[in-house]
Amino acid sequence: MLRFGPASGPVVIAALPLFEEANRTRAFVVTILRQLTLRGFAGALPDLPGTGESLIETEQASLSDWIAAFKSATVALRPTYDSVHVIAFRGGALVDRDGAVETRWHFSPLPGRTVIRDLGRIALAAAKEAGTHFDPASLTAPGLPVEIAGNRLNRALLAAIERAEPIASPPLRIVRLDSDPLTADRHLPGMPLWRRSDPDNDSTLAALLADDIAGWIASCGG
């Protein structure tokens, strides 16, 4: 895990979006965690199995392993910190359900079927550019691993993601962008960095989100 801020007190652990969206938003999430250190919070950003610096190949990853690994990361933080709080982004909200945390804060959370639909669009666009055929419905069918945006993914993982939903039990706060029509506790101005073609950052939005996270945790007694 990347670690930020003080060695005691409350700690915020982040769950990145899934697949290519993680690459596009990692710097942004790190900026939020660094902003939170200025507000008295420690931060942690774990690499799940098959992601980041993990020694496991991406095609060997499973959703159950991601959920178990994220839970293990939260448990590992508890002896050191007074309380543990999760912030999850987009598809990352599918992996924090078993975390040993006091509060949850989700930014633009997605159901698994939307994650798979977006992956299908990416794969279909790549196939059209290459002049080949691709059926998005085949993503979750049994078969060999499929490569999408440079990630080689096993279909059992994709099928499990398609069935998954973000946890909805309180205490949970949901924040979305103004451009997102879905229900949320708050909507904020900003650009969806996960839609950019290259990794990007937004320090203004990061500060707004850090303020919202800090206020949410304080309102829950954290």
Mean pLDDT in residue range 82-103: 97
Q: Is 3 exposed, middle or buried (0-12, 13-18, 19+ CB in 10 A)?
A: middle
What are the phi and psi torsion angles at 104 (to 5°)?
-130, 145
Which pTM was predicted? 0.94
Q: Is the dihedral of CA 16, 202, 27, 124 positive or negative?
A: positive
CATH topology of domain 2-111+166-219: Rossmann fold (3.40.50)
53 pLDDT more than 90: no
* CB atoms near residue 214 (< 10 Å): 20
What are the domain boundaries of the chain? Answer: 2-111+166-219, 112-163
- pLDDT the model gives residue 52: 87
133 pLDDT more than 90: no
**pLDDT, mean over the chain:** 94
89 contacts 17 by C-beta, under 8 angstroms: yes
- pLDDT the model gives residue 18: 95
Residue keyed to tokens 């939170």: 36
Instruction: Please name the amino acid found at residue 107.
Output: F
9 pLDDT more than 80: yes
